[in-house]
Amino acid sequence: MSFPLPTLPVGRVLEVVRAPDPVLSAPGPVVDPADPQVIQLCADLVATMRVSPGCVGLAAPQVGVAGQAFCVDVSSHPKTRTSHGLIVLLNAEVVEASRQDKGREGCMSVPDLTGDVRRASKITVRGQLPGTGEPVVISTDAFEARALQHEIDHCAGLLFLDRVSGAHAIYSRKVYLDPGATPPSTSR
């Protein structure tokens, strides 16, 4: 399955903001799909996601912009069962959701922690495409459903930490090295 994405301009890699930056905890306003700044923001989100190891999604608040825009691409993640490829949505909302499953989540805006979060395992999302404003509906499941819900939460001013059941469900993030990287020295 592939997602119908209009052509975006060349994206710039932006700095990812970290909690407790206030933009991460404020609901973002609805954005205008035809606004050239919104279209460029979408391209920038994709470019920033692509250069960030392990990143499968990024929302406007994570680059310091209050607004309901995000991208997701789980196609190369090992937990992926269903993938629509690169998804870029504006003003998205979950319109249907199934039973909830617990799963571990991390976030570029909370780089040192992961947590167990309950999310719907099957969802239907409605949103708009950048540029055209064309309405789209996506039904998906498993890891892609989790990623979409995570990014929609960012647009609503929520972090995954707001969804964990308590401190017992928060963990220090494991550090993963690039396969070609030299491991850090253990000598003192």
Q: What is the pLDDT of residues 78-123, one digit of tens each?
A: 889 899 999 999 999 999 999 899 999 999 999 999 999 999 999 9
Distance between CA atoms of 155 and 56, rounded to whole angstroms? 16
pLDDT in tens, 118-176: 999 999 999 999 999 999 999 999 999 999 999 999 999 999 999 998 888 999 987 55
Question: How would residue 59 be classed by pLDDT, with cut points 50, 70 and 90?
Answer: very high
Domain count, the chain: 1
In a domain, 47, yes or no: yes
Q: Over 80: is that where the pLDDT of 185 sits?
A: no
Q: Is the pLDDT of residue 184 over 50?
A: no
In a domain? residue 104:
yes
Q: Is residue 5 part of a domain?
A: no
Any idea what the CATH number is for the domain that residue 46 is in?
3.90.45.10
- What is the C-alpha separation between 185 and 37, in angstroms, rounded? 44
**Mean pLDDT value across residues 64-70:** 98
- Gap between the Cα atoms of 109 and 18, Å rounded: 4
Q: Is residue 15 part of a domain?
A: no
Note whether residue 179 is domain-resident: no
Q: Distance between CA atoms of 110 and 127, rounded to whole angstroms?
A: 26
pLDDT at 154: 98
Active site residues: 151
Is residue 29 a part of any domain in this protein? yes
Domain that holds residue 147: 22-172
Residue 115 domain flag: yes
Residue 81 CA to residue 143 CA, distance in Å, equals: 7
Backbone angles phi, psi at 78, to 5 degrees: -65, -20
Asked whether residue 178 is domain-assigned, the answer is no
3-state secondary structure of 35: coil
pLDDT category of residue 6 using cuts at 50, 70 and 90 = confident
